[in-house]
Structure 1
Amino acid sequence: MIKKVDHIGIAVKSLECTLPFYTDVLMLPLLGIEEVETQLVRVAFLQAGGTKLELLEPTSNESAIAKFIEKRGEGIHHVALGVESIKERISEMREKGIRMIDEEPRTGAGGANIAFMHPKSSSGVLFELCEKKGLKG
C-alpha cells in the first residue's frame, strides 16, 4: 500500500531566509521552486537521500500554511506517503475509520495527486497520501 515516505513538508515563513540553511549548511541539492496557487504556497524541493524535503512558504495570510505557522510556528507540517491508486487508498482509509480532509484527490506540488488524512485520526500527525502519475521518485 505505502511505497515510501515521499517527502516531509516543512512550514517556513520565508524561502529566501530558510533555504541557505538547507543548501549551504546541510548541503542538500535544491531541485526546484514552484508556486501552487490553489494552495497559496511557494514550495522549494530539496533532495535528502531517498526522501525529499518540501519547504512551504505561504503566499497569503489565508493559506493553511500561514495559519499553521501562526498557531504552531515554523516546523514540520506533514509527512507524505507515496502511494499508487490514490482513490483506492482514500477508500481504504475511510473503511478503516480514518477521517479524510480530502474525500477526493486534488493536485498538489509537482503535479502529484494528493489527499490529506485528518490528524485527529492519526494521533496528531498530518499525513498526506501522494500519487505521482508516471513519475519515478
Structure 2
Amino acid sequence: MDNGILGTQVITQIGIIVNDIEKVSASYAKFFGIEQPQWFWTDTVDLAQTEFNGELSEARAKLAFFDCGQLQIELIEPDHNPSTWREFLDKEGEGVHHIAFSIKGMKEKIELLHSKNMPLIQKGEFTGGRYAYIDTFSELKVLTELLENDK
C-alpha cells in the first residue's frame, strides 16, 4: 500500500484554535464525559526556537490535549505575538487550524512539500521533538502539521 508523500496516511491530531482555552476545554471534557485536562504554555523562543514565516518569533500558546484513541484533539489559545495560530484567530476566528501526522525525516519532508508548492509557515522545537506547519490549504483545504518525535 502506498503511504503517499509523508510516508503515512494516519492523522494523529486535529488542532483547533480557540479564544478561551478554559471554556472550550471544559466543554470538550463535558462532551466526552472526562476530567478537564490542565493546559500549559508552549516553551519560550530560547527553547522552542520558534520561526514564523522565516523569522524568529516570541510566539507562545496555551495548549490542552484530549486523547481520543488514535486521534488527539489539541486546543490552542495563542498569545499576541506573530504566529500561524495568531494569524488564524485574527483572520478566521476559532476553528480547525490543522491536521497532524507523525513523521520521520522532518527536514526532508519540509523540502519535499516545498517542492510541491506547499511551503513551511512555522516550525519549532518541543521537549522530545519538533513540529512544522505546512501551507497545504490550497490543495487540502486545511494546514498540515508534521510532528517528529525523538526516540
**Same fold by TM-score greater than 0.5:** yes
Question: Equivalent residue for 1:115?
Answer: 132
Cα RMSD for the two superposed structures: 2.4
Contact 2:84 2:121 in 1 (8 A): no
Q: State the alpha-carbon separation in 2 of the partners of residues 60 and 99 from structure 1.
A: 23
Shift of 1:11: 0.3
Using structure 1 for the length normalisation, give the TM-score: 0.79
Q: How many residues align?
A: 131
AA matched with 2:121: I
Using structure 2 for the length normalisation, give the TM-score: 0.72
Deviations 1:25-66 (A, max 9, x none): 223565653211343200001111211111001222644323
Unaligned runs of 5+ in 2: 1-6, 46-58
Q: State the alpha-carbon separation in 2 of the partners of residues 122 and 132 from structure 1.
A: 26
Where do residues 30-45 of structure 1 align in structure 2 (5 Å cutoff)? 32-36=38-42, 37-38=44-45, 39-45=59-65
The counterpart of 2:104, out of the listed 81, 84, 98, is: 84
| Farther off after superposition, 47-56 or 66-75 | 66-75
**Aligned in 2, Cα 1:120/1:79: closer, same or farther, shift over 3 Å?**
closer
After TM superposition, what 4+ stretches of structure 1 lie above 6 angstroms from structure 2?
A: none
Does 2:113 match 1:93?
Answer: yes
Q: State the alpha-carbon separation in 1 of the partners of residues 129 and 36 from structure 2.
A: 19
Deviations 1:3-36 (A, max 9, x none): 6212111000011111111111223565653211
**Aligned in 2, Cα 1:43/1:60: closer, same or farther, shift over 3 Å?**
same
Unaligned runs of 5+ in 1: none
